[in-house]
Amino acid sequence: MYVFLVLILIVIMVLGSCIKIVPQAQAAVVERLGAYVATWSVGLHFKLPIIDRVARRVSLKEQVADFPPQPVITKDNVTMMINTVVFFQITDPKLYAYGVENPIMAIENLSATTLRNVIGDLELDQTLTSRETINTKMRSTLDTATDPWGIKVTRVELKDITPPKPIQESMEKQMKAERDKRAAILEAEGQKQSAILEAEGHKQSMVLHAEGEKQAAILAAEAEKEREIKVAQGQAKAILEVQQATAEGIRALKEAGADDAVLKLKSIEAFEKAADGQATKIIVPAQLSNVASVATSIKEFIK
C-alpha cells in the first residue's frame, strides 16, 4: 500500500516537472536527448519526461553592457582611454544559445577591436568632436558581426573619453585663452556701443537745444510783433479819440452860437493838440471859420 502511494507521488512529481510556463519577454530553448528540438515562447508548455530538457532560458528584453575603458591610439598617435556602452537585444534564442560560447564576452572583445579601428582613422580633435559619427560606425559594424549570434545591436555610446593628462592641461589652457579672448571682445563691443550711444545722446541733446532756441526766437519775434501792433493800434486810437473830441467840441461851440473868433481859436488849439510836437508838417486851411474845412485839414496834419 505504501509502495503504491510512493509510486503515485513519484508519477505526480514527474508529470509536474513536465509542465513548464514561459513568462513574458522570455524564451526557452528545449533539447531532446541533447539535440535542439524547439524554442518555447510565452505560455504553457509540456515536455517529455527524462528525454526533454530546457537547455537555456533567454531574455528578449533590450539589455545594456557597460564595458571598461579601453586604450586606443588616434591617427596622430595620442593614446586615450575610452569606455563604451552597448545596447543589444536577442532576436533568435537558438542562435544565441548555440552561436557563440560567451556572447557578452564576444561583444566586449568585438567592441574593443572595432573602437580601435574607428579611432585609428581619426585625429584627436576629430575624436573629441565626432562622437555621433563614431557611435554610428560602431553600431553598424557590431550589428553586422553579431547577426549570426541572434543578437541585434540597437545603440552604441561612447561613455567617457579620457585624453592623457598633458593633453588635458593643454586643452584647459586653450579653453581659458578662448574664454579670455571672448571676454575681451565682449568688453570692447560694450565700450564701442557705449561710445556710440553717448555720441547719439549728445547729438540728440544738441538738436533739441537748437530746436528750443529756434522756438524761443520765434516766440520772442511774435511777441515783439504783437507788442508793436498793439502800440500802433493804441496810438491810432488815441489820435482818433482826439480828433473825435475836437470835432465834438467844435460842434458844441457851433450849436452854442459861438462867433468866428472863438471857432478860429479852438481850431488852432485843436491843431496844437493834434500835432503834439510830433508832426513835421501842418497845413492850415484858409478859412478857419469853416468847420468842414477844419475837419478836412486835420486829416493831413501828421504824415
Listed range (105-109, 166-170, 202-206) with the worst mean pLDDT: 166-170
Q: How confident is the model at residue 291 (pLDDT cuts 50, 70, 90)?
A: very low
Residues 37 and 100 reside in one and the same domain: no
| Residue 255 falls inside a structural domain | no
Average pLDDT for 181-190? 86
Q: How confident is the model at residue 275 (pLDDT cuts 50, 70, 90)?
A: low
Q: Which of 39, 59, 79 corresponds to the end of one domain?
A: 59
| Residue 137 falls inside a structural domain | yes
Task: Give the position of cell 503834439.
Answer: 276
- What pLDDT score does 200 carry? 87
Residues 123 and 38 reside in one and the same domain: no
222: left (phi over 0), alpha (psi -120 to 50) or beta: alpha
Per-residue burial over 72-82, b if 16 or more Cβ lie within 10 Å, else e, is bebeeebebeb
At 251 the three-state DSSP class reads helix
Residues 17 and 71 reside in one and the same domain: no
Listed range (7-21, 70-84, 255-269, 281-295) with the worst mean pLDDT: 281-295
Number of H helices, E strands in the chain: 8, 9
| Residue 182 falls inside a structural domain | no
Residues 149 and 66 reside in one and the same domain: yes
Residues 101 and 119 reside in one and the same domain: yes
Residues 71 and 43 reside in one and the same domain: no
Torsion of CA 103, 108, 114, 119, to 10 degrees: 170
Residues 71 and 122 reside in one and the same domain: yes
- How many structural domains does the chain have? 2
Predicted model pTM: 0.55
| Residue 205 falls inside a structural domain | no
DSSP label of 102:
-
DSSP label of 68:
P
Pick from 36, 59, 70: which is nearest to 138 by CA? 70
CA distances from 149 to 90, 142, 156 (A): 9, 11, 18
Q: Which of 148, 163, 178 corresponds to the end of one domain?
A: 163
Residues 159 and 66 reside in one and the same domain: yes
| Residue 169 falls inside a structural domain | no
Torsion of CA 110, 113, 117, 123, to 10 degrees: 120
Q: How confident is the model at residue 288 (pLDDT cuts 50, 70, 90)?
A: very low
| Residue 45 falls inside a structural domain | yes
CATH assignment of the domain containing 66: 3.30.479.30
Between helix 103-119 and helix 131-146 the angle, nearest 10°, is 140
Residues 87 and 135 reside in one and the same domain: yes
Residues 109 and 147 reside in one and the same domain: yes
**Would you say 112 and 67 are in contact if contact means Cβ atoms under 8 Å apart?**
yes
Average pLDDT for 211-230? 84
CA distances from 25 to 45, 58, 109, 231 (A): 16, 9, 27, 112
**Domain that residue 141 falls in:** 62-163
For residues 107 and 157, what is the distance between their CA atoms, to the nearest angstrom? Answer: 14
| Residue 47 falls inside a structural domain | yes
Note the pLDDT tens digit of each residue in 164-180: 888 777 777 777 788 88
Three-state secondary structure of 146-168: HHHHCEEEEEEEEEEEECCHHHH
| Residue 42 falls inside a structural domain | yes
- What pLDDT score does 61 carry? 93
For residues 8 and 4, what is the distance between their CA atoms, to the nearest angstrom? Answer: 6
Residues 20 and 41 reside in one and the same domain: yes
Listed range (3-12, 89-98, 160-169, 277-286) with the worst mean pLDDT: 277-286
Residues 86 and 42 reside in one and the same domain: no
Q: Which long-range contacts (CB under 8 A, 24 or more apart) does 18-26 make?
A: 18/46, 18/47, 18/48, 18/49, 18/52, 19/44, 19/45, 19/46, 20/44, 20/45, 20/46, 20/47, 20/54, 21/45, 22/57, 25/59, 25/60, 25/61, 26/57, 26/58, 26/59, 26/60
Q: Which of 163, 183, 218 corresponds to the end of one domain?
A: 163
